[in-house]
Structure 1
Amino acid sequence: MVGVGFMAFGVYLLADLRELADVLVWLGAAVVLHDGVVVPLVLAVGAVVGRGVVRGALVVAGAVTVVASPVLLRPGRTANPSVLPLDYGRNWVLAMVAVGVVAGVWSGVRWLRRGRRDGAQ
């Protein structure tokens, strides 16, 4: 019921919006971008890479990149230093390194377990 209440409030805010056409264009563009670009790209990379940890790491890296893209692509410095004050490029690189390290460790553990299992037979 709480979720339905929040959705009703969102519809109320949307109905009061003066630039409804702009919002509809933005939502339409988001659907086209997702279904026309992101999904085919993820499916193509997944087909090339195969199954497993590497595919998962690429999906996570892609999702983090899409979420971070507004601050990564923002214009230069602003007059107000408190607006987007962090080094987002560096933080994105650190996140990609973390995804790579976790995927590498996970793959190594799976490889070691498989080797033990094969050696025990």
Structure 2
Amino acid sequence: MRSRYALGALGLAMTAWGGLLLVRQPEPWRIALWLAGAVVVHDGFVAPLVMAIAALTAAVGLRPQGAARTALIVAGSLTAIALPPLLRPRGVANTTVLPLDYPRNWLLTMAAIVALTLLYTGTRAALRRAGRRH
């Protein structure tokens, strides 16, 4: 219980620090507007999309659990973050703005998530089987 209060106090302190940094900015309304936009995008787009995907997967009988659910959340979050560079038009005038091969890097990251999830679930299954033998 003490750790919960300590984490709550730490959260409040960090919120106060962030508020102090916000009001010290030359144009704090721009940052506040950006933060409000992030809340609107999350509550108006991301959360309903996640709920729709969950409803669709449940409707077809898929109910990912544990590591699979975690992998889907991580992959979805990374995809949402990567969308702007992934959807940018090709052949931009200034090639130094987004110089990396974002589609390739996104695919490599998704492959790493799948590989690590399979490694984790395979290792857990092997450990469970080994525990049953003894």
Q: TM-score range by the shorter chain?
A: 0.7 to 0.9
Identical counterparts, % of pairs: 40
Structure 2 residue ranges without an equivalent (≥5): 1-12
**2-structure distance, mates of 1:109, 1:84:** 38
Change (3 A) 1:70 1:23: farther
For the aligned residue pairs, the C-alpha RMSD in angstroms reads: 2.9
Aligned twin of 1:62? 76
**1-structure distance, mates of 2:46, 2:27:** 29
> Does the CA-based 8 Å contact 1:68-1:92 persist in structure 2?
yes
Change (3 A) 1:91 1:81: same
Aligned twin of 2:27? 17
AA of the residue aligned to 2:113: V
Aligned twin of 1:33? 41
How far off is 1:74 after superposition? 1.5
User: Which structure exhibits the higher relative contact order, with contacts defined as CA atoms closer than 8 Å and separated by 6 or more residues?
Assistant: 1
Aligned twin of 1:119? 133
TM-score (norm 1): 0.74
**2-structure distance, mates of 1:79, 1:40:** 36
1:49 is paired with a residue whose SS is: coil
2:114 maps to which of 66, 87, 100? 100
> Does the CA-based 8 Å contact 1:42-1:59 persist in structure 2?
no
> Does the CA-based 8 Å contact 2:22-2:31 persist in structure 1?
no
How far off is 1:70 after superposition? 1.4
Structure 1 residue ranges without an equivalent (≥5): none
> Does the CA-based 8 Å contact 2:67-2:121 persist in structure 1?
yes
How far off is 1:77 after superposition? 2.1
2:24 is paired with a residue whose SS is: helix
Change (3 A) 1:108 1:22: closer
